[in-house]
Amino acid sequence: TSAINERFHAAQKIIKDAAQLAKNMQPAPGKPTAELKGHQDYVTEADRAVETFLVKELSALFPDDAFLGEEYGATQSGAFRWVIDPIDGTSNYARGRNRWCISIGLMHHDTPVAGIIEAPTLRESFTARIGQGAFLNGTPIQASKTDKLREAMVEIGWSPYVPEGWYPQKMGALLTEGSMPRSLGSGALALADVACGRSDGYHEYVIFLWDVAAALVLLQEAGACVSPFLKNGGLTQRTPILACAPLIAPSLSKTLGVSLD
């Protein structure tokens, strides 16, 4: 635990500087400067600058640790691995919108053990360590106690990887049950919302490890239900995810056709 705590405290400081860097580089509304990785799949200069900064700062303190980042991929192996999404919600970031974050997950031999999700333009910092609870700006958080889909707010993620017809089908299934739909463009923040009870569920067709590594610790510590993302292949490939409040887990999993086992 002391190795985890030491890394967590260092990352908490470093992520604040990274957040300032990202804020300074954010395009103004109406002046998007993103490049395209594919159809509606964006990357900005800031994604690369923030990842480079985080890897440099963290590896200076922990030279034996490994890294996995969205823009530059994986480095050497090591008992601890930092899993970094330098800007999650790049499509929002590039348009001058507020809803984006930096996500840093810490894994120990393929188990997520700590996570920080920093959203500077929302003035929010989500933090969690295994066995030590989950927090929003230092206040403990928990998944919601919502027990009916009719009273639930559920977010469905959209990415360029969803097959034609998938998104309207899932939205339709939710609307039929009387749930309130959302779709806000940052997987990491959508999962953090489930962890703090602001929403009751999040589902995405497939998502990468760097989008969810930090959130997996938050969700576990906040008592949310999560599909077995890592067991289903999430360590090495884009994998489906469903996270939700525990009392709607059976009904939501049935409605969306996603197993939680």
Binding site for ligand IPD (CB under 6 A): 70, 85, 87-90, 157-159, 185-187, 204, 207-208, 211
Provide DSSP, 182-207: E--S-HHHHHHHHHTTSSSEEEEEEE
In whole angstroms, the minimum distance from the beta carbon of 155 to ligand IPD comes to 9
Q: With 0-12 CB in 10 A as exposed, 13-18 as middle and 19+ as buried, what is 41? A: middle
For ligand IPD, which is the closer residue by CB, 65 or 71?
A: 71
In whole angstroms, the minimum distance from the beta carbon of 258 to ligand IPD comes to 15
In whole angstroms, the minimum distance from the beta carbon of 132 to ligand IPD comes to 26
For ligand IPD, which is the closer residue by CB, 54 or 207?
A: 207
Return the residue nearest ligand IPD (CB atom).
187
**Pairing status of strand 201-207 against strand 239-244:** antiparallel
| CB proximity list for 252: less than 8 A, separation 6 or greater | 149, 152, 154, 200, 201, 242, 244
In whole angstroms, the minimum distance from the beta carbon of 160 to ligand IPD comes to 8
| CB proximity list for 12: less than 8 A, separation 6 or greater | 116, 127
In whole angstroms, the minimum distance from the beta carbon of 174 to ligand IPD comes to 16
For ligand IPD, which is the closer residue by CB, 146 or 159?
A: 159
Hunting for tokens 């933090």 — which residue is that? 127
For ligand IPD, which is the closer residue by CB, 112 or 157?
A: 157
Rounded Cα distance between 8 and 163, Å, is 38
CB atoms within 10 A of CB 43: 18
For ligand IPD, which is the closer residue by CB, 8 or 158?
A: 158
